[in-house]
Amino acid sequence: AFLRASSDGAARCVILTGTGPAFCAGMDLDELRATLGPDADKVWDDAAQLSSLYELIYTLPKPTVAAVNGAAVAGGAGLVTVCDLAVSVPDAKFGYPEVRRGLVAAMVLPHLLRHVTERTARWLLLTGELIDAAAAERAGLVNAVVPAESLMDTALGWCRSLAEGGPKALATTKDLLRRCSRQAVGVDELARASAEPRLTDECRHGLSAFFDKRRAPWAPGGGPGA
């Protein structure tokens, strides 16, 4: 869809939103658990594809707006950060709980740091805690919080405002913003850093604890019988 929009002269702006109660809850952990056996090679392919999607959205020459209709967690929060603007409903939640499963939020890290302070990024990435929409707005993760019934009207209004800009001027501005961001780690390295922890015993133990509804073995009070 983003590739089609990129090449469609009639498309001036792209809105990314979710269907159902969530914007995007991130990786399907049950699906990940199934890939840790004979299909472990799929882990690398999945990481590469998601990394490519983030890069496609982030470098799209046309403006993008995330209309966050519900929870935006892990990779879902990553989707919010690769869009140019973001508007959220009040009851949305944002966060990166990967470390609590023995995973690493590598691919989303540089995009998060473009929007929030390093102190906020460290809180989100190291604690795995979720924050509400009001906190996300204060942190700079979203531009505005509006009632649910106003979400799409607000996003469309922003798109109409963005369409007032010249297409080439917008594309050049986005390219300059990207080049000024000084990302030190390449997307391929980030994809590898995201995939490698998924093949560790730590990740396997974290996933097992998640599905067994118990604390991870490394957490205080955790262990096989916790």
Residues forming the active site: 98
Question: Cα dihedral angle (116, 120, 121, 126), rounded to 10 degrees?
Answer: -170
Tokens of 156: 């469309």
Confirm if 24 and 79 have CB atoms less than 8 A apart: yes
Confirm if 95 and 129 have CB atoms less than 8 A apart: yes
Name 176's Cβ contacts closer than 8 Å, sequence gap at least 6: none
Pairing relationship of beta strands 14-17 and 64-68 according to DSSP bridges:
parallel
Question: Cα dihedral angle (117, 194, 31, 55), rounded to 10 degrees?
Answer: 70
What is the spatial distance between Cα 82 and Cα 92, in angstroms, rounded to a whole number?
18
What is the spatial distance between Cα 87 and Cα 113, in angstroms, rounded to a whole number?
18
DSSP secondary structure string, 75-140?
HHHHHHHHSSEEEE-TT-EEE-GGGGGT---TTTHHHHHTTS-HHHHHHHHHH--EEEHHHHHHHT
Tokens of 6: 């990129």
